[in-house]
Amino acid sequence: MKFFIINLEKDKERYKHICNQLDSNNLKNYERIDAIYGKNVYDNYNTKLRPAELGCYLSFQKACHAIIKQDLEYGIVLEDDITLTEWASKLEEIIKTIPTSFDVCWIGNSRAKWPRNTCNLIPDYDYEKLSKYKINDFVYKIEDVSGSNYPIGGYGLVVSKKGAMKILSETNNYKDPIDEYLVKNLKLEKYMTIPSIVIHCYDFGSNISITPVDLKQNPFENIWKKNKTQEFEALNILEQVTKLFSMNNINYSLMYGTLIGYGRDKKFIGYDDDIDVIVNINDIDKIENLILNLKTFCNVYKYKKPIINKSLYYKLYPIQKYSKIKSYEYGWPFIDIFVYEKRNNGLYFPSEKKYIKMNEEFSFDILKSHNNENVYKVQVFKDYKNILDKMYKKWNCNCISSQWNHREEKNIPFTYEFNCSNVIPGYKSECKETHYKSNININWILYYTVYLLFFVFLIKFVYSNFPK
């Protein structure tokens, strides 16, 4: 398995960046393709392509020449500003499942339903229409190119030797950008992988785009992978809390998004950036008496009045290695301590205004770091699956992106939903393939509606009091 990296001589940082990614994933068999700068050769070609698009086309052809010259079964052609996803560890395994007769296979493309941005893990496809082209769990054949069910972008492609020869046999085709040419070419046997193994996050900015692209953060990005120190600090505090509470006969359970992550694979949800635990409201006085003990290993922020339906009492965050949140008195990462109430034969969760018939029993277990390097002792309700089933529909099937950015304490206006098997590498979902769905956060709508009404009222007030 060999990689060919298309890179301009001047873009040394780009090349270093992608090489570091490949090396860290133990993908060390790669070669630099000296990219062609379109402006330098543009006058030699009769084409309507932009100079940068022509440069990409010609550079891709150079990579095809290399695949043929080295007599490779196939080569993986990458642009130098891609980002490898966690699926890169399965790349060779996935390539083996592509039919051997293939010419080209996209391992990354830029179809996205969140605000137009190629930095995504999940292409925008109508899976019902595409199901007949499904080869296996990862590979789809590309045949219907009349609608939107085809890939865009040429930044991550597996090209067979046979495919490279076909592409080079039409060297005078410079009517369309290289990605469009490949998709529309009926002579090529084409496939794509879902989800994308590489994404195009514009870490250095595109060499093709004329105007800057308004990038939005990938809603399913693994936050903890990029914040290993913060993850370590947060898990360490959680384990210390477990010991302290256990010594003082205080039971707690992981809760909300943290409990979902535990239920799925005993990890934090990669795209959820806070930790939630819950205690019996009758134990709050005990916790209050342990504040000094807590402060030996973490900072403690206590709300003057509990928030979120009077259920959130404390935030615990690191003493040193944390990020101060602007306009707030605490830092990230943090652990939220919520309360529940015992009522009759069940438990009442005021944050959700939900009563669940269940026993108040607990068990100890482990929570793993995102990379499985460390495990930590934690506590959960024995009947945690009952809580998840009652609070979250299909929690073990569908992944829903966060509504709140806890690192900045800001609302996220859009949430996105998709089958977890296409979001969490290696996750086995029992659900059938689900449709991609985006939702507008109601809180966000209410916020701006109130803001707009206030603005209209202010204008009317000023106008009515303006001297006639």
Domain CATH code at residue 419: 3.30.460
The tokens for 451 are 């803001």
pLDDT score, position 208: 41
71 & 123 share domain: yes
pLDDT score, position 398: 86
182 & 257 share domain: no
308 & 379 share domain: yes
pLDDT score, position 262: 97
136 & 283 share domain: no
Regarding pTM above 0.85, the answer is no
pLDDT score, position 275: 97
Please say whether the beta carbons of 303 and 314 come within 8 A: yes
- Look-up: residue for tokens 């004329």? 210
139 & 242 share domain: no
Round to whole Å and give the CA distance between 336 and 289: 18
230 & 192 share domain: no
Tally of domains within the chain: 2
313 & 176 share domain: no
Identify whether 353 is part of a domain: yes
Q: Any idea what the CATH number is for the domain that residue 36 is in? A: 3.90.550
Q: Which residues of the chain have pLDDT under 70?
A: 110-130, 144-149, 171-172, 201-218, 422, 432-451, 454, 461-463, 465-468
338 & 284 share domain: yes
Identify whether 118 is part of a domain: yes
pLDDT score, position 210: 33
278 & 343 share domain: yes
Identify whether 410 is part of a domain: yes
Identify whether 260 is part of a domain: yes
Domain end residue (candidates: 134, 167, 199): 199
Please say whether the beta carbons of 151 and 180 come within 8 A: no
Round to whole Å and give the CA distance between 240 and 204: 41
Identify whether 216 is part of a domain: no
Domain end residue (candidates: 167, 199, 231): 199
Round to whole Å and give the CA distance between 453 and 113: 30
β partners of residue 381: 362
pLDDT score, position 1: 92
301 & 417 share domain: yes
Identify whether 228 is part of a domain: yes
Range of the domain at 345: 223-442
pLDDT score, position 368: 95
In this structure, the number of other CB atoms found within 10 A of the CB of residue 167 comes to 24
Q: What is the DSSP letter of 191?
A: E
227 & 287 share domain: yes
246 & 187 share domain: no
Identify whether 448 is part of a domain: no
Identify whether 392 is part of a domain: yes
